[in-house]
Amino acid sequence: MIHAPKVSFRPGRKLTQRFPLLWTIVQRLLLSIVLLFAVSIVIFGGVEALPGDFATTYLGQSATPQAIANIRAELGIDRPITTRYFQWLGGVLTGDFGMSWANRNSVTEQIAQRLGNSLFLAFFAAIISVPLAVGLGMVAVLFRNRLPDRIINVASLAAISLPEFFVGYLLIMWFSVQTGIAVFPATVYEGMSFLDRLSAIALPTATLVLVVLAHMMRMTRAAIINVMSSPYIETAELKGLGGLRIIAKHAAPNALAPVINVVALNLAYLIVGVVVVEVVFVYPGMGQYMVDAVSVRDMPVVQACGFIFAAIYIFLNMTADILAIIANPRLRHPR
């Protein structure tokens, strides 16, 4: 008696084999959602664990216990932390971050204005720093171990070693105090024309560019140098192709995956790490808004800013991961 072979039908496995790239993207999306949920717990719990109490700060040290209890009941601080977390998370999922404790205004409306200012600053820093970093990285590889490469390396090490606030204060001293070339308004940004806004963000943009440029340039240089030892690069050299053409046409595209990762990380830093720069230049963005909220214990604002920063960071990392997989055939078709 002949038995027919057993055939196991697993549609999930068949789907992953037919569309590996699509399945990889879906996995990254699901992982990002889970990570963002975990981060929301950490942000809410961490902010709740901060020392100090808004009711005491708001009413002052001479406030009576009954007055403090009334404020806490009005704001809902006296409820269990789990109840407040799920209520806050439900509001976040619908785009409602609650009301500010300090001024009783909508946190979502205030963040919408501030986030636009931060993205405006980060956008111009990115469109300057990314092409400049990739170009300088290619130049450093072209003149490797020669004078231009050494100058670029020394300058990048110096830029990495200086913290953002120090770079910002140096630029203020040189271009505003001593020479008077750059004049930046400290408080007026709304209602300004586009050119006036560009002039106002000149020094903050220069600070961000100097901070992120060095790291991106060095990682670009390292990624391209790692590819330059490949056999196809030697073949291109034997064909008599020029050094710049080899780097631009053969080496750089194959070093795209690590370059995308480092660019995405620095773009995330431009938005998330802009807090110090905004405080130095009194720029009305998310970072300044968050620092002001921390000083008065305005917890809904702090939680909202922290969650938005985390969401942007996770989104950019997920995008970089997906783009790196698309750019690298070995990652698109793993064995």
Q: For residue range 243-272, what is the model confidence (pLDDT) as tens digits?
A: 677 777 767 676 777 777 778 878 887 877
Quick: pLDDT tens for 119-169.
Answer: 888 888 889 988 888 888 888 888 888 888 888 888 888 887 888 888 888
Listed by start position, the domains of the chain span: 124-286
For tokens 């992982």, the residue is 31
What gap in Å lies between CA 49 and CA 28, rounded to an integer? 31
For residue 106, the cross-strand partners are: 99
For residue 99, the cross-strand partners are: 106
What gap in Å lies between CA 107 and CA 181, rounded to an integer? 37
DSSP 258: H
- Rounded to 5 degrees, φ, ψ at 99 are -110, 145
Q: Which of 206, 211, 327 is nearest to 259 (CA)?
A: 327
pLDDT over 50 at 188, yes or no: no
What gap in Å lies between CA 102 and CA 99, rounded to an integer? 9
Q: How far is CA 14 from the centre of its chain?
A: 36
Quick: pLDDT tens for 16-64.
Answer: 555 667 777 888 889 989 999 999 999 888 877 776 666 666 666 666 7
With H, G, I as helix, E, B as strand and everything else as coil, classify residue 104: coil
Task: Find out whether 204 and 278 touch, Cβ atoms under 8 Å.
Answer: yes
Token couple for 294 = 């921390």
Helix (H) or strand (E) holding 271: helix 256-272
Q: Which of 281, 252, 251, 6 is nearest to 118 (CA)?
A: 281
**Would the pTM count as exceeding 0.85?**
no
CA angle 71, 75, 76 (to 5 degrees): 110
Task: Find out whether 309 and 118 touch, Cβ atoms under 8 Å.
Answer: no
Report pLDDT for 335.
53
What gap in Å lies between CA 224 and CA 316, rounded to an integer? 23
What gap in Å lies between CA 85 and CA 195, rounded to an integer? 43
